[in-house]
Amino acid sequence: MHHLSSKSILIQLLKYFIKLLTSVSLLIVIFSQTSFAQQKLDAEKITRLLNDPAIANKDSLINKIQAQLQEEFKDSQRITNLLDSVDLKLKNKQLLLGYNKLLKGYIYKDLNSARALTVINNGLSLIKDLNDTTLYFQLSSLKGYIYKSEYDNENAINTYFNLLKYLKGSKNYYRIGTIYAEIGTLQYKGNAISLNGDFSEGIINLKQAIFYLIKYKGGQNDFNLLNTTNTLALSFSAGKKYDSALFYFDKAIKIANNNNMPFWIALINGNKARIYINRNQFDTALYFLDADFKASLKIKKWSSASSALLMQSSCYIKTDKLALAKLALQKSDSIIDLYGSNPMQKKMSYSMYQALYEAQSNWKKAYFYQKKVITLSDSISKLYKKNELNRTQSKYILENQTKNNELLEKENSLLEKEIKLKNTIFILGILAGVLIIVLAYTFYYQYKLKHKLSTELTRKNKQITFHKKELEYKVEARTKELKTINDELDSYLYHSSHDIRSPIATILGLVEVGKLDLSKHELKKILKKIEQSAFKMDVMLKKMQDLHYLDKFESKNNEMNVSVLLNALTSKYNEDIQNLRCVIETDIEENLYITTTPNLLEMALSNIIENALTFGKPTSNTPFILKFSYFRKGDNVIFRFRDYGEGISQHYLNKIFELYFRGSSKSKGNGLGLFIAKKAIKKLGGNIRVESELNKGSLFEVSVPS
């Protein structure tokens, strides 16, 4: 019986050590992948979106997923981080990694073109052998779009040609047609800008585009077909092949008529008129120009209407109908005065006046407008050269950034592999060490059971005691080692995680706790904490929203009562004022009005007051005092906020308005408040200064134009 009992004890000990081994392994895995664990819930949501069987059409997959991601997660950078964690969870990994890259490309395209191109190139490399034309088409189309947006027509055209090679033999005629149309359009625009280009290559590609678009639609009307046909006609016209140009303009206007597109009808009539002017067929040109003018007025395309009148005046001058020419110019002037014009249109107007006065032998006025034409031509030429220089510079920067990003991607990949290898080696080492301890103890215990003599048992008990202490020491050492690793990982996560993830993680944790069987009192406490975390996140998002507003706002000045504004701000922070036992002292000028942008002024003053309340320092005997004063000084209104709180060290005084600066452990936010305040005041044309002494308080003075 004693032997069976010892065996049972041995089995129990083995089970205990196996559980210990499993727990240690799980801890190490969790610690090595903490960033993924924190994103688990969100990653599962995205995984379900990507694997949704209801999305059968791949063409609509990206738009639907992107819309749902943007709606649910808001922050683009957070989406890309989540996509990284989703990669390991998908079934057809290589293909879905490609869709992952496409999603990232869409997110980055308006934020960082070089980064977007790097991600797209990685995606194209991933799927090059998968024969998935839909994904390859979407990635390449996005790549071409980015190059176009950066005015890099050469790389855009090369991208589209590579895409045509990939689609060779495909029966997706619409995609092939749209690619040829993109190439031909880029070639036409490039040659039109250079003024002496060869349009023949673009014409060939545009004809190919029309061929495939008609083949796809079975000859039906289509916007892309209309646009491509009009561009082909423009290419023929630019190459002075007027008969071919008129032929395709007629086809384009037929499509526009069939689809009731008045804008395109007006546009094409104007294009046809230019051909007849070049052929000196002025009566015919005037017919089409009149149709262009009437259609443009009907759809309120004022620039197009003005251009039609200017070309009419040219026809009238060349046919010696000077009164009609002057009338057309006066009508054009009226439209330009009401709705504005571009420099080229203005130049054409001056040229027409010069020609009119030359025809009337009014050389003084002709010379006057000739000088205007020359001055404006010089200005347009300088602007063109400047734009060309900027495009070249942007292309150079884009290429360098793309190369640097690709190198960085490779370095990150190598670093990630190295970290994974080190983690694996570390885990295996721990597992081996624990296993050796378990095996050694097991063999030793089996040997012990074979000796039943009391003296032997006594000796063995002493050995067991010794080994127990030794094992406890090793376990303690291992525990300290694991704790050190845990602390290091926690520190890394703390410093690398975005501020906004902290309240989200808090809410998720509280929600999990809330699922337990808790009392009403405990649930109320949890809900209160969730509310506090949500409020903290709302404050952060509000400040981020304010920053976005500051970059995008349009100045709209209104007259406002300053007293009403400050009363509203005081009410806004009433709870904080009561908690601090804050006393507000005011020294104000009655009925002071200011003409400014109310939202910006409120934003600036709100953040200054919030900062003062944050660092208030009431004592048990005296309340916290905050003094407000404002008055007019010359053309400005001066606001002063004096508090007797914590104060600011001279060392930090020049840094408090910097982005994300937090100079005290009492800071509740993410270091945006005073930065937003200063930026808003600068937008108003004002300035802000601060005086402060540590432990004595601070004075903030704001001056804004009245």
What is the 3-class SS of 317-351, one letter each residue?
HHCCCHHHHHHHHHHHHHHHHHHCCCHHHHHHHHH
Task: Give the pLDDT confidence score for residue 263 in this predicted structure.
Answer: 84
CATH number for region 553-705: 3.30.565.10
Percent of the chain scored above 70 by pLDDT?
Answer: 69
Q: 88 falls in which pLDDT band (50, 70, 90)?
A: very low
CA 498 to chain centre: 16
Strands 593-596 and 558-561: antiparallel
Whole-number pLDDT of residue 569: 86
Among the residue ranges 54-68, 194-208, 384-398, 476-490, the one predicted with the least confidence is 54-68
Which letter does DSSP use for residue 57 in this model? Answer: -
Can you give the pLDDT at residue 702? 93
**Model pLDDT for residues 448-502, shown as the tens digit of each residue:** 666 566 677 777 778 788 877 777 777 777 777 566 445 433 433 443 355 666 7
CA dist 52 and 55 (Å) reads: 6
**Cβ distance 230 to 260 under 8 Å?**
no
* Cα distance between residue 208 and residue 181, in whole Å: 8
pLDDT in the model for residue 566 = 87
DSSP-assigned letters across all residues of 167-222: TTT---HHHHHHHHHHHHHHHHHHHHHHSS---HHHHHHHHHHHHHHHHHHTT---
Q: Whole-number mean pLDDT of the chain? A: 75
Alpha carbon 610 to chain centroid distance? 29
pLDDT of 600 > 70? The answer is: yes
**pLDDT band at 439; cut points 50, 70, 90:** low
Which one has a higher pLDDT value, 288 or 57?
A: 288
- Residue 315 has what pLDDT? 92
CA–CA distance, 250 with 262 (Å, rounded to integer) = 15
Q: Using the predicted structure, report yes or no on whether residue 623 has a pLDDT greater than 60.
A: yes
Query: Which tens digit of pLDDT belongs to each residue from 186-201?
Result: 888 877 665 556 788 8
Rounded to whole angstroms, how far apart are CA atoms 111 and 99? 19
Q: Are 565 and 602 in contact (CB under 8 A)?
A: yes
Residue 271 vs residue 499, higher pLDDT: 271
Lowest-pLDDT range of 119-133, 320-334, 441-455, 676-690: 441-455
pLDDT at 696 over 60: yes
The one-letter amino acid code at 521 reads H
CB-count exposure of residue 42 (10 Å: 0-12, 13-18, 19+):
buried
Query: Whose CA is closest to 542, among 449, 633, 676?
Result: 676
- Residues 99/50, Cβ–Cβ less than 8 Å: yes
What band does 57 get if pLDDT is binned at 50, 70 and 90? Answer: very low
* pLDDT band with cut points at 50, 70 and 90 for residue 538: confident
Residue among 564, 566, 706, 690 at smallest CA distance from 628? 566
* Cα torsion angle, 129, 134, 135, 140, sign: positive
H or E stretch covering 431: helix 363-449
Element (H, E) at 633: strand 624-633
Alpha-carbon gap, residue 166 to 163, rounded angstroms: 5
